């Protein structure tokens, strides 16, 4: 009887880990590969998405080799990453600059400004202080300080969304990150356009995903290129 295995991908601040498990939860393979964090100025922290991808490929190959399994035995995979780690990129996922890491606090002035608006959507955060970690603050910083990168960015992706696009070719967002860090409310129409417009981001909507996925939702199979690079079957469920 053919083995059935699943893969978990955990992309953290310092590395991406890939674990392969049987359906009883036993680990049969593991791989880890690090990537660099860049600190151009105090309080700034950036990473290169191209390094994320090469690290994922490396970790996947290490885990598959250790497991001794074949690509046809892998039936599904899932992932988690740091957030909000924002990637301004083209429609095909090509980054326009290094990603602003979750712990980057350069947008502290934007966070203070957004907090001062006392806009009604801040109730989702208990009207507490808005964190410069969040996507809206980083997007506003980009628009104010790197207007050409902001203008040229066809998409603004969180780390997990960028990985998802590179794996499946689908541009999506996750309900777990958009709800808290984007002020997204599924029951009140999704992204609060009036809020974004009020803080100067009325031109951001085409850059954000409309397809917001629930936790555990099946997104699709792998693209041909992703499957070949990772050594997996295109039919694996993600």
pLDDT digits (tens, 9 = 90+) for 19-28: 999 999 999 9
Model pLDDT for residues 82-92, shown as the tens digit of each residue: 999 999 999 99
Q: How much of the chain exceeds pLDDT 70, in percent?
A: 100
For residues 106-120, average pLDDT:
94
Confidence at residue 122, expressed as pLDDT on a 0 to 100 scale:
86
Residues 78, 134: Cα–Cα separation, whole Å: 23
Q: What is the DSSP letter of 223?
A: -
Contact 31, 22 (CB under 8 A): no
**Bridge-partner residues for 158, per DSSP?**
86
Model pLDDT for residues 48-68, shown as the tens digit of each residue: 999 999 999 999 999 999 999
Coil, strand, or helix at residue 186?
A: helix
Task: Evaluate the CA torsion angle 233, 26, 11, 64 in order and state its sign.
Answer: negative
- Of the listed ranges 85-94, 128-137, 181-190, the least confidently predicted one is 181-190
Confidence at residue 225, expressed as pLDDT on a 0 to 100 scale:
97
Percent helix, percent strand, percent coil in the chain, to nearest 5: 40, 20, 40
Residues 177, 183: Cα–Cα separation, whole Å: 9
Say yes or no to pLDDT of 1 above 70: no
Contact 204, 142 (CB under 8 A): no
Say yes or no to pLDDT of 180 above 90: no
For residues 109-114, average pLDDT:
96
Coil, strand, or helix at residue 127?
A: coil
Residue bearing the bigger pLDDT, 65 or 182? 65
Closest CA to 47 of 117, 60, 110, 56: 56
Q: Residue 186: which pLDDT band, with cuts at 50, 70 and 90?
A: confident
Establish whether the linkage from the previous residue to 186 is cis, with ω within 30° of 0: no
Say yes or no to pLDDT of 113 above 80: yes
For residues 104-112, average pLDDT:
97
Residues 49, 66: Cα–Cα separation, whole Å: 26
Model pLDDT for residues 187-235, shown as the tens digit of each residue: 888 889 999 999 999 999 999 998 999 988 999 999 999 999 999 999 9
Coil, strand, or helix at residue 148?
A: helix
Residues 131, 111: Cα–Cα separation, whole Å: 6
Confidence at residue 38, expressed as pLDDT on a 0 to 100 scale:
98
Mention every residue, 6+ apart, whose C-beta is less than 8 A from residue 27. 19, 20, 21
């Amino acid at each position: 009887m053919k083995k059935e295995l699943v893969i978990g991908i955990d992309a953290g601040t310092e590395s991406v880990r890939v674990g392969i498990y049987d359906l009883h939860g036993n680990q049969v393979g593991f791989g880890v590969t690090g990537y660099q964090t860049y600190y151009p100025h105090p309080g700034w922290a950036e990473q290169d998405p191209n390094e994320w991808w090469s690290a994922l490929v490396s970790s996947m190959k290490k885990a598959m080799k250790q497991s001794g399994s074949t690509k046809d035995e892998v039936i599904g995979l899932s992932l988690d990453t740091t957030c909000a780690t924002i990637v301004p990129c083209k429609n095909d996922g090509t980054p326009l600059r290094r990603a602003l890491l979750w712990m980057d606090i350069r947008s502290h002035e934007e966070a203070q400004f957004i907090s001062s608006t006392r806009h009604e959507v801040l109730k989702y955060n208990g009207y507490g202080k808005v964190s410069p970690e969040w996507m809206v603050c980083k997007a506003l910083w980009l628009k104010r300080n790197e207007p050409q990168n902001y203008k040229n960015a066809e998409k603004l992706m969180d780390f997990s969304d960028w990985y998802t696009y590179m794996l499946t070719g689908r541009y999506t967002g996750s309900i777990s990150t958009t709800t808290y860090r984007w002020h997204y409310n599924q029951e009140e129409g999704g992204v609060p356009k009036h809020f974004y417009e009020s803080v100067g981001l009325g031109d951001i909507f085409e850059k954000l995903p409309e397809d917001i996925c629930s936790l555990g939702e099946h997104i699709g199979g792998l693209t041909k290129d992703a499957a070949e690079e990772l050594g997996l079957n295109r039919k694996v469920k993600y």
